[in-house]
Amino acid sequence: MPGGQYQVANTKRHHSLYSLTDESEAGPDDEKADGPPRLTPLQKLTTDKDEKTIKELIIGRRVGFYKVRGEIGCGTFSRVKLAFHALTKDKVALKILDKTRLDGQAQRLLSKEISSMECLQHPNVVCLYEVVETPSRLYLVLEYAGGGDLHNRIYTEGKMSDNDSKITFAQILAAITYMHNINVIHRDLKAENVLFTSSGCVKVADFGFSTQVSNCNVALDTFCGSPPYAAPELFRDECYLGPSVDVWAMGVVLFFMVTGSMPFRAETMGKLRRCVIECAYTVPPWVPGPCQRLIKGILKKAPAQRYAVDQMLGCDWLLPVQFLWPPEPASLDSERGDLAEEVEEEVRGLLEELGFSTEHLQNNQPKNSRSPVTGVYRILLHRAQKRRGCDSPPVVRGMVRDPKREGLRAYRGLRHTSKFCVLS
């Protein structure tokens, strides 16, 4: 059985939400009178060998600790299905890859994707919980966003309002800034890869073309991503700097959000190439002036002339955006340390209720994504963090009275959020 190696010999009862009686009232002979010792949820799951479970394993309806349900997406080499963790009951997205169809290049990209996601821990980046491998398939267990993607939202509802655009773009910017600060380049940012949670929090997803560099000034030479979002230097077959390419794609996403259409449109790839290289686009006059200036500052032909993320963080258009998480910079260190300890204590208590012992945790460190114990730990950790508001979207406050003061505060808040790592 999956996870069978994590069965525990200790059958001591746990006082928890799974207990049916109050252990404080139990006498010394109650255990004998009650019959066999009560199994923990983990023990029940790993010793369960009924016919239904075996059938689910054979037909792929269960993978490790996850019960697999319907398909929610697909890609060139993968399918994404909805799944539930059998112990925590949390929804997850299961990205399924057929190893027999992966050539050498695809395997290298997959390795980079896992490596990038392993080091990314931010409220606006999709979380990797666990990696499950079988002889023929590889499963990436990911955070389930559940609110659809930006492309479908605009396709069905039309352009976004100015305030909604600010809230969405500020979160994309926070995610990309954080990634660049730790030398991760996305290289495939597009509206389809911007997901929403049910609460409206933005999650940047799909790191299949991502790469880690020693520093962001390292020149890259692989053409990646979707042509409508590709920067001019990519179409010119030049070496390029990763951050500039991500910034250009952010400009295309912003244009799409506020207008409902793409800045570069053409019937053929050749015509699209010419449009992008010539930087031939027009911002509709009804787009607010501060937003127009931001778009024009990003979509510049020469990479060196494009806005850097620091300039974007402090632009006029984003001044009214305020993040509710994390705490104010002045109190971050002390509050973050206290919060980390509080969250860790809660998570370990929940793990104990499920039946995971101290030995399990010692033998399966949280950094090892290929351990089912790590999967449970990360799911419970993320749940505890969400309860404390880390997945709350930012808000747009009222009129800015003092542009210099408010601009500095907004800049610091957004820059601070871009550096924030989800506690681990």
Binding site for ATP, by residue number, is 95
Tell me the backbone φ, ψ of residue 62, rounded to 5 degrees.
-140, 130
Q: How far is CA 350 from CA 14, 17, 40, 51, 83, in A?
A: 11, 10, 12, 29, 21
Instruction: Identify whether 243 is preceded by a cis peptide bond (ω within 30 of 0).
Output: no
**Catalytic residue chosen out of the listed positions 149, 188, 206, 246:** 188
Contact predicate 65/131, CB 8 Å: no
Please confirm, yes or no, whether 98 is among the known catalytic residues. Answer: no
* Amino acid code (one letter) for 424: S
> Residue 420 and residue 333: Cα distance in Å, rounded?
11
Residues linked to residue 63 through DSSP beta bridges, in sequence order = 66
Which residues are identified as catalytic?
188
